[in-house]
């Protein structure tokens, strides 16, 4: 998977620092006061923070899962419009009869910054995935998860958002006072040790947060938090899978993993698969050629970038015009821990 530029590197302070500083600022309090009269579904403090994050990160693409009456979508689209770049996609499978009409009432420049799709989140992410496999990039920078609040759906939405977000991006999670989203956030953080969480004005490391911490204080109806992506590509128990078009070499002699952090000494497996398929493969199902290389090796806490030679090298007949060449790289950890790869270039085929 190719990733677009890390967004946090473009900003002056890191996203965690921004969130803490912004939550204490006069600008944030003013934004909350402006939003208060809109009678929104989500708390004004949350919506004001989402708008602040969009203006801070200036992402190419923002996503809202669950539009409903478009109250938060409006504030997100306003922030995108203020940036003068980027786009908001807001999705809701049950919104086709109301959302387009609601959006017609928005100011033209705000409407131009937003697109509504009557999609289930799974449909949305499957389409995005297909685009990535075809060699595109995944430019999601800010995602607001506020769709189906059952645990299974909330966990899917958070995991899929995280899998498609640029390094340094943000996933805002709503309704953590409800069991589904609360457990989804806790399970997500357990599985993603390099992520951080902004909640109640402070930054929590992934291992710190428990269900006890996510109990609403007296008088608080809705609780929310911001999952903060590491500024690197994280490899955990879930493994790492990258897919892409093969554009250059005719011979792959190996792969370099651009490792920037290893949490502890661990055994890992790496599987490289080169696939060539005739253009009509999807019709005839014939003529595919795959070449596979498998490795098991140990990484140590101090490991940096490493090169893994392919023996024999993988040779492609790229002179054939009627064939698509793609490759797939999978890394799996055989024990606990995590590895971080460089955000700009996680690996390079040699």
Ligand X SMILES: C[S@@+](CC[C@H](N)C(=O)[O-])C[C@H]1O[C@@H](n2cnc3c(N)ncnc32)[C@H](O)[C@@H]1O
Per CB under 6 A, residues contacting ligand X are: 40-42, 64-66, 68, 71-72, 91-94, 120-121, 146-148, 153
Q: Would you say how long the chain is, in residues?
A: 350
The torsion angles phi and psi of 253, rounded to 5 degrees, stand at -95, -10
Contact 81, 112 (CB under 8 A): yes
Angle at 346 between CA 258 and CA 193, to 5 degrees: 95
The torsion angles phi and psi of 176, rounded to 5 degrees, stand at -75, -5
Shorter beta-carbon distance to ligand X: residue 40 or 333: 40
Shorter beta-carbon distance to ligand X: residue 50 or 229: 50
Shorter beta-carbon distance to ligand X: residue 150 or 332: 150
In angstroms, rounded to a whole number, what is the distance separating the alpha carbons of residues 163 and 239?
11
Give the shortest CB-166-to-ligand X separation in angstroms: 21
* DSSP string for 300-323: -TT---EEEEEEEEEE--TT-TTE
Shorter beta-carbon distance to ligand X: residue 44 or 193: 44
Two tokens, residue 230 = 């590491």
Shorter beta-carbon distance to ligand X: residue 95 or 193: 95
Pairing of strands 2-3, 165-173: unpaired
In angstroms, rounded to a whole number, what is the distance separating the alpha carbons of residues 103 and 40?
15
In angstroms, rounded to a whole number, what is the distance separating the alpha carbons of residues 13 and 18?
6
In angstroms, rounded to a whole number, what is the distance separating the alpha carbons of residues 208 and 186?
10
Shorter beta-carbon distance to ligand X: residue 5 or 177: 177
Two tokens, residue 313 = 């090298």
Residue nearest to ligand X (CB): 66
Q: Is 55 exposed, middle or buried (0-12, 13-18, 19+ CB in 10 A)?
A: middle
Pairing of strands 240-245, 323-333: antiparallel
């Amino acid at each position: 998977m190719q990733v677009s530029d890390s967004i946090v590197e473009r900003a002056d302070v890191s996203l965690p620092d921004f969130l803490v500083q912004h939550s204490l600022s006069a600008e944030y309090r003013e934004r909350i006061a402006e939003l208060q009269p809109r009678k929104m579904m989500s708390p004004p403090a949350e919506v004001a923070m989402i708008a602040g994050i969009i203006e801070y990160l200036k992402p190419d693409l923002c996503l809202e899962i669950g539009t409903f009456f478009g109250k938060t979508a409006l504030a997100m689209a306003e922030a995108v419009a203020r940036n003068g770049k980027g786009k908001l996609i807001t999705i809701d499978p049950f919104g086709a009869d109301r959302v387009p009409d609601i959006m017609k009432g928005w100011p033209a420049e705000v409407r131009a910054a937003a697109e509504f799709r009557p999609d289930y989140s799974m449909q949305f992410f499957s389409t995005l995935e297909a685009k990535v496999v075809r060699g595109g990039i995944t430019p999601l920078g800010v995602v607001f998860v506020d769709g189906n609040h059952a645990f299974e759906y909330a966990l899917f939405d958070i995991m899929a958002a995280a899998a498609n977000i640029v390094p340094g991006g943000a996933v805002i999670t709503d309704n953590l006072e409800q069991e589904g989203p609360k457990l989804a956030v806790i399970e997500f953080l357990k599985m993603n040790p390099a992520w951080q969480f902004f909640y109640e004005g402070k930054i929590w490391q992934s291992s710190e947060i428990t269900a006890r911490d996510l109990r609403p204080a007296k008088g608080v109806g809705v609780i929310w938090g911001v999952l903060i992506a590491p500024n690197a590509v994280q490899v955990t128990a879930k493994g790492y899978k990258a897919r892409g078009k093969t554009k250059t070499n005719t011979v792959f002699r190996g792969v370099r993993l651009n490792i920037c952090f290893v949490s502890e000494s661990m055994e890992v497996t790496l599987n490289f698969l080169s696939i060539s398929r005739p253009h009509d493969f999807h019709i005839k199902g014939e003529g595919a050629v795959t070449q596979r290389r498998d490795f098991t090796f140990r990484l140590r806490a101090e490991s940096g970038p490493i090169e893994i030679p392919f023996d024999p090298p993988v040779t492609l007949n790229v002179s054939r015009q009627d064939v698509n060449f793609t490759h797939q790289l999978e890394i799996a950890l055989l024990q606990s821990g995590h590895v971080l790869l460089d955000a700009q270039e996680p690996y390079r085929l040699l």
